[in-house]
Chains A and B, each alone.
Chain A
Amino acid sequence: DVVMTQTPPSLSVAIGQSVSISCKSSQSLVHSDGKTYLNWLLQNPGQSPKRLIYQVSNLGSGVPDRFSGTGSEKDFTLKISRVEAEDLGVYHCVQATHVPYTFGAGTKLELK
């Protein structure tokens, strides 16, 4: 299985601050079709997960452009510019290139 190493496990931030979350995979996530199926999800407290970013850098529908994704091959980053209260929750990276799909352990974003 592809191991997704996500850091940091938690972040304490002030509203308006910018933060980054890292996700590194044990294998390249480039699919045989040439696409890289690396997604970022956010789970707000008490809610189901929401897709923020797909295929490394594409913003999901309705997702604010404060969120951005970068990376390639085995090294990926989610950046949140100007954190807002609605951004608090647990972030997961998840790869859907190799079966079984696998998740990072999560990053909990909390208010300072």
Chain B
Amino acid sequence: EVQLQESGPGLVKPSQSLSLTCSVTGYSITSNYWGWIRKFPGNKMEWMGYISYSGSTSYNPSLKSRISITRDTSKNQFFLQLNSVTTEDTATYYCARFPKNWGQGVMVTVSS
């Protein structure tokens, strides 16, 4: 059974970087596509990007200058870095083998 688990700080200061880790068990990240999605207060959801089985990436153009998704295949983990955050980046962040398998989500608040 595929399981995904997000981890990272729940509070980030404005202008700093948000960094999250997704740990995957039960499936190798060298297969398929692995992404990050966020849900804002209310119901709005946004696809942020993915890293593929080969390590190639695709990002939402709305974030392209600020986002990076990388991986460590030896640990079966992939990572999200979002730079220059503002209060508008406050959201619950999910990692997923989109759209089939999801992590439980981590709430991140951007506040000074």
Contact = CB atoms under 8 A, between A and B. Distances in A.
- The number of chain B residues touching the other chain, given as a range, is 10 to 19
B99 A39 contact: yes
A49 B47 CA distance: 13
A48 B98 contact: no
A60 B100 contact: yes
Interface in B91-107: 94, 98-100, 102-105
Interface residues of A, number: 23
Contact of B102 (A1, A50, A102): A50
Interface of B: 39, 43-47, 58, 60-62, 94, 98-100, 102-105
Interface of A: 1, 39, 41, 43, 47-51, 54, 60, 90, 92, 94, 96, 99-103, 105-106, 108
